[in-house]
Amino acid sequence: MSAVVFQAAGLLLSYPDENLIDRLPMIEQAVAEAGAAADFAPTLAHLRSMPLMELQSWHVQEFDLSRRHALHLTYWTDGDTRRRGEVLAAIKQTYRESGLLVDLDGELPDYLPMVLEFTATGDRQLGLGILNRYRASLELLRIGLADDDLPQAGVVAAICTALGGQSPRTREQVRQLQAGPPNETVGLDPVLLPYPTLQGT
């Protein structure tokens, strides 16, 4: 059932379009059957709460313009540094090693919805390797969304639950989170940056 959670989460965290809105009933049924309805319900309700253009504007404001809710996993560990370029190249190489054609569609390879889709429908083991290596990034995103009372907090919580293990309650506990055994297909070990406090930049 984790594949359902990953695929549904990837869709619901993506930039909303008409295709996504049309698929909401199917997504809702799938997550209910996977036992994750409660985590996804707030985001599903949010996506039904306003016209599409308003949803798109909201998404851009909260996820593209706000560092507090960055959907790029390596942003939380490497920020806008030269090291990040090396890490992104390593993730892209992981996609190549899968033997699958991964369409980045103009996005960076660490874009969470893309990693989730790759894990759900592509190479599960390689995808899980990326998600587990950046588990701390996911936990920081989850905490940030919850602190700001955004509906997507439940979706990210469902991702963390599907990965297994207990989620830390605080950012300090996240900093103590062990990255796990090295995974050569993913690349460099992450080093957490301070939690971003600026919005609209």
138-186: pLDDT as tens digits? 999 999 999 999 999 999 999 999 998 777 777 777 776 644 433 333 4
What type of residue sits at position 159?
Answer: I
Higher pLDDT, 167 or 112: 112
Task: Give the domain range for residue 140.
Answer: 2-175
Q: How far apart are CA 115 and CA 6, in angstroms?
A: 9
* DSSP single-letter state for residue 146: H
Query: Would 50 be classed as within a structural domain?
Result: yes
Looking at residues 112-134, what average pLDDT do you find? 94
Residues listed for the chain: 201
Q: Quick one: pLDDT at residue 177?
A: 62
Mean pLDDT, the chain, rounded, equals 85
Query: Would 16 be classed as within a structural domain?
Result: yes
Query: Would 73 be classed as within a structural domain?
Result: yes
Q: Quick one: pLDDT at residue 119?
A: 95
Instruction: Judge whether residue 190 has pLDDT over 60.
Output: no
Query: Would 115 be classed as within a structural domain?
Result: yes
pLDDT grade, residue 193 (50/70/90)?
A: very low
The candidate with the shortest Cα–Cα distance to 199, out of 60, 57, 65, 15, is: 65
Higher pLDDT, 65 or 192: 65
Q: Quick one: pLDDT at residue 173?
A: 73
Query: Would 187 be classed as within a structural domain?
Result: no
Query: Would 155 be classed as within a structural domain?
Result: yes
Higher pLDDT, 171 or 15: 15
Query: Would 137 be classed as within a structural domain?
Result: yes
Q: How far apart are CA 44 and CA 88, in angstroms?
A: 31
- CA contacts within 13 A on the Cβ side of 94: 29
Q: Quick one: pLDDT at residue 130?
A: 94
Query: Would 189 be classed as within a structural domain?
Result: no
Q: Quick one: pLDDT at residue 51?
A: 97
Please tell me the total count of domains within the chain: 1
